[in-house]
């Protein structure tokens, strides 16, 4: 690991000043330290933000508000989460391991980097780690890679389960930086790889995620997160689907869906949502949504199975959401 300076931020102003001057925030450290050990990441200056007052979980009239420093386990166990949006607890509990969830923060979870094996192999070409070097996955081992949102320069999937659930639920982020405060949809945090896969998110240099705001309301009662993975714990999604339904008189009023493990960003399934809106609750509507989910999917040499798996996972997640409540 290369040497680095370490600073503990006294308050938010101190953190933002350090962030604007090139300091790199560290929260739980569960992924940044790993990447530094492997020398995939080489920050020269770490800014510990754990002392900042950003750990609250609270409800307002319109939102469940989650501080960026709240730990995954805390959010999953909080009564406000259980009451206002239990699907978030499900998505959090399906991620990582109990030890990691105790340490890992919500902000860090949303900012985690891809799990493509070549990204961590310093001698492999990887446009994300070394722009312009190529992509070893496109003609390499790519069973775990994306079928949606890929480019000729990168095909890695976005890894966060939480982000998938938040994108489905139209959650927003409040961030602060040198230019002040702004709020925007979680979906807009993530950039498609295009020809600049090393640019992964839309935060300005030094911007700090302060809190996540999850709308309360119609989608809480019938919402589930279904994750398919190679083993039942301590494993990223092969395919996952967050499905939330607003059901009135056995009719699907509106639907919100997003998928993980298949896209280069958390993938909102808008065509599936359109296929469900106004339909009677039942397997016919779910099948149409499953078919719509795979529209535009472009498998690589090793991951053709993800098309059918996404279709089926969408149907199953909708069946589960339809029964919940």
Ligand X SMILES: Cc1cc2nc3c(=O)[nH]c(=O)nc-3n(C[C@H](O)[C@H](O)[C@H](O)COP(=O)(O)OP(=O)(O)OC[C@H]3O[C@@H](n4cnc5c(N)ncnc54)[C@H](O)[C@@H]3O)c2cc1C
- Which stretches of the chain bind ligand SF4, using CB under 6 A? 114, 116, 118-119, 126-128, 135-137, 154-156, 197
Query: Nearest approach, Cβ of 301 to ligand SF4 (angstroms)?
Result: 13
Query: Nearest approach, Cβ of 115 to ligand SF4 (angstroms)?
Result: 9
State which of positions 1-40 bind ligand X (CB under 6 A).
Answer: 24-32, 34
Q: What whole-number distance in Å separates Cα of residue 104 and Cα of residue 93?
A: 12
The terminus-to-terminus CA distance of the chain in angstroms comes to 49
197 contact choice in ligand X, ligand SF4, none (CB below 5 to 8 Å, kind-dependent): ligand SF4
- Please tell me what DSSP assigns to residue 308: H
Compute and round to an integer the Cα radius of gyration of the chain.
Answer: 19
What does 23-86 look like in DSSP terms, one character per residue? -EEESS-TTHHHHHHTTS---SEEEE-TTSS---EEE-SSEEEEETTSBHHHHHH-HHHHHH-H
219 contact choice in ligand SF4, ligand X, none (CB below 5 to 8 Å, kind-dependent): none
- Can you tell me which of 87, 89, 162, 169 binds ligand X, judged by CB under 6 A? 162
118 contact choice in ligand X, ligand SF4, none (CB below 5 to 8 Å, kind-dependent): ligand SF4
Query: Nearest approach, Cβ of 252 to ligand X (angstroms)?
Result: 28
Nearest of 213, 147, 137 to residue 175 by alpha carbon: 213
| Number of alpha carbons in the 13 Å side-chain half-sphere of residue 136 | 15
Nearest of 4, 48, 59, 44 to residue 26 by alpha carbon: 48
Query: Which residue, 1 or 152, is less far from ligand SF4 as judged by CB?
Result: 152
State which of positions 191-220 bind ligand X (CB under 6 A).
Answer: 208-209
State which of positions 40-69 bind ligand X (CB under 6 A).
Answer: 68
- Can you tell me which of 9, 57, 104, 126 binds ligand X, judged by CB under 6 A? 104
| Number of alpha carbons in the 13 Å side-chain half-sphere of residue 34 | 12
Query: Which residue, 205 or 282, is less far from ligand X as judged by CB?
Result: 205
Question: Which chain residues interact with ligand X by CB under 6 A?
Answer: 24-32, 34, 68, 95-96, 100, 103-105, 107-109, 111-112, 159-162, 208-209, 234-236
């Amino acid at each position: 690991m290369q040497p680095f300076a370490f600073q503990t931020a006294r308050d938010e102003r101190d953190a933002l000043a350090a962030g604007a001057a090139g300091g790199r925030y560290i929260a739980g450290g569960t992924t940044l330290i790993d990447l530094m050990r492997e020398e995939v990441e080489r920050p020269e200056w770490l800014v510990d933000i754990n002392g900042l007052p950003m750990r609250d979980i609270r409800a307002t009239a319109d939102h469940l508000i989650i501080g960026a420093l709240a730990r995954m386990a805390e959010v999953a166990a909080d009564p406000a989460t259980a009451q206002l949006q239990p699907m978030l607890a499900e998505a959090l509990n399906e991620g990582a391991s109990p030890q990691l969830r105790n340490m890992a923060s919500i902000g860090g979870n949303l900012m985690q980097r891809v799990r493509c094996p070549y990204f961590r192999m310093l001698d492999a070409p990887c446009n994300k780690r070394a722009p312009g070097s190529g992509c070893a996955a496109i003609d390499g081992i790519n069973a775990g890679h994306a079928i949606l949102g890929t480019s000729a320069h990168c095909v890695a999937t976005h890894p966060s389960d939480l982000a998938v659930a938040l994108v489905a639920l139209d959650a927003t982020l409040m961030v602060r930086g040198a230019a002040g405060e702004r709020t925007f949809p979680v979906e807009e945090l993530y950039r498609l790889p295009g020809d600049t896969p090393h640019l992964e998110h839309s935060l300005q240099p030094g911007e700090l995620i302060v809190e996540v705001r999850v709308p309360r309301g119609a989608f809480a009662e019938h919402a589930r997160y279904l994750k398919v993975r190679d083993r039942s714990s301590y494993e990223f999604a092969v395919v996952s689907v967050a499905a939330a339904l607003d059901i009135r008189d056995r009719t699907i009023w509106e639907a919100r869906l997003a998928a993980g493990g298949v896209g280069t960003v958390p993938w909102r399934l808008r065509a599936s949502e359109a296929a469900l809106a106004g339909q009677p609750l039942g397997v016919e509507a779910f099948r149409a949504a499953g078919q719509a989910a795979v529209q535009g999917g472009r498998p690589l040499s090793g991951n053709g199975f993800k098309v059918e798996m996404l279709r089926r996972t969408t149907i199953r997640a909708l069946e589960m959401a339809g029964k919940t409540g």
